[in-house]
Copies of this chain bind each other. A is one copy, B any other.
């Protein structure tokens, strides 16, 4: 048991090393042969599959359809939208040859697929009757990053990218916000991560977007993490790619588009929100195993009791550890893997018609009569999820404050504060200045904070916004 635990650096000693230790020891990933890439091992990929399943269902409920667009984008097609090019050009992996043959035109590995959608829609859309189209794809994209970390920032990552096209700005904006709501509910109720819903500033909005909306979370160490974004493009893309439809009066109009995405970054957010010195602590809905039954001894009696329990708990994903590892090792492994509920089945307890049940978060263990296991597990899982949410929320609340001046803001950063609400002018140049001075930038203009007038915390000009700034992943 000790042997395993020693591998994980204590979280408060070195957060960054702790994160790496958890990721590797829980066998979520291994580093790939190309710098900045990761291999998703079965346990890491199973988490992603559970995320996919739930989100995919939510998207389909509002009429989103899955598609698959190609990996490669011709240079000439990509270069049409100037902001987009500027945002992505330095990060793009470029195919220049096939076998020994040099290609006539460079092909970019998609960093995102707006231009491919635009190119398709240009031919596809003729009438207002063709709209809206609500597309989504689950795929891999590449953005070459200098500094990489598993899940948080990798050259290649997995995500979903939604793309929609509409016949009115109102409908497109409504969809943008509907998606933000889906993301926000998913983070809160499935991942048990509290998030702040808001809008990105001009400086931080997506390359080519008119408006970017975001859900922002705060990690255990006080750094913010953008967990999902939803972009309203207006007709920026449709003008550049000439996507028009005939409205119900027969006139030609440019259409309105959106895009939105969450990625395998969410797995990083889960780890840094909930996990501890013993390893992962996984929200029950995305945990590959929700209830781990551990055979204390491998006798026929224990085995048949475990199998019976697994049957009774078949509404959950149940694992049985019947390996010949030591008891301590089995416990330690279940803890590193972050399995919410653990049931220990041993001969002595069985003689008393009971088993031991414990929670991964509190590590409280209790004897439970066998015929009460179902009820106890049901309640315990709910309490477990609520508790890990509350801990994350408390951390965020303790680390959320406000400042009126840059000096105050810098002091708060030094004190390791997380979100700091400041009056902000909203100017791109001013935010760039803050970034230079503090290496931080804005996270969002929050929806649930009153936007009052004041003096910008940096440039002192009149400001109309209250914005969260923070160090961020």
User: Chain A residues in contact with chain B, CB under 8 A?
Assistant: 30, 32-34, 37-42, 45-46, 48-49, 65-74, 77, 89-100, 107, 109, 116, 119-120, 123-124, 135, 139-140, 142, 144, 156, 158
**List of B residues within 8 angstroms of A30 by Cβ:** 120, 123-124
A39 lies within 8 A of B68 (CB):
yes
A39 lies within 8 A of B67 (CB):
yes
Complex partner residue of A38 from B45, B70, B74, B91, CB under 8 angstroms: B70
| Complex: A368 Cα to B92 Cα, angstroms | 59
**List of B residues within 8 angstroms of A48 by Cβ:** 68
A45 lies within 8 A of B67 (CB):
yes
Complex partner residue of A140 from B38, B67, B73, B139, CB under 8 angstroms: B139
B69 lies within 8 A of A42 (CB):
no
**List of B residues within 8 angstroms of A73 by Cβ:** 33-34
B42 lies within 8 A of A120 (CB):
no
**List of B residues within 8 angstroms of A39 by Cβ:** 67-70, 116, 120
B66 lies within 8 A of A93 (CB):
no
Complex partner residue of A107 from B34, B67, B74, CB under 8 angstroms: B34
Given contacts A34-B107, A116-B33, contact A68 B45 (CB under 8 A): yes
A99 lies within 8 A of B90 (CB):
yes
B96 lies within 8 A of A72 (CB):
no
Q: Which residue of B lies closest to A27 (CB)?
A: B124
**List of B residues within 8 angstroms of A68 by Cβ:** 39-40, 45, 48, 158
| Complex: A70 Cα to B157 Cα, angstroms | 9
**List of B residues within 8 angstroms of A91 by Cβ:** 98-99
| Complex: A49 Cα to B52 Cα, angstroms | 13
| Complex: A120 Cα to B94 Cα, angstroms | 25
Q: Which residue of B lies closest to A158 (CB)?
A: B68
Starting from the known contacts A37-B71, A39-B68, 16 additional A-B residue pairs (CB-CB under 8 Å) come to A32-B116, A33-B70, A38-B70, A39-B69, A40-B69, A45-B66, A45-B67, A68-B158, A91-B98, A92-B99, A93-B97, A94-B95, A94-B97, A95-B96, A96-B97, A139-B140
Q: Which residue of B lies closest to A323 (CB)?
A: B129
| Complex: A97 Cα to B30 Cα, angstroms | 25
Q: Which residue of B lies closest to A109 (CB)?
A: B95
A37 lies within 8 A of B72 (CB):
yes
Whole-angstrom distance between the Cβ of A418 and the nearest chain B Cβ: 32
| Complex: A107 Cα to B32 Cα, angstroms | 13
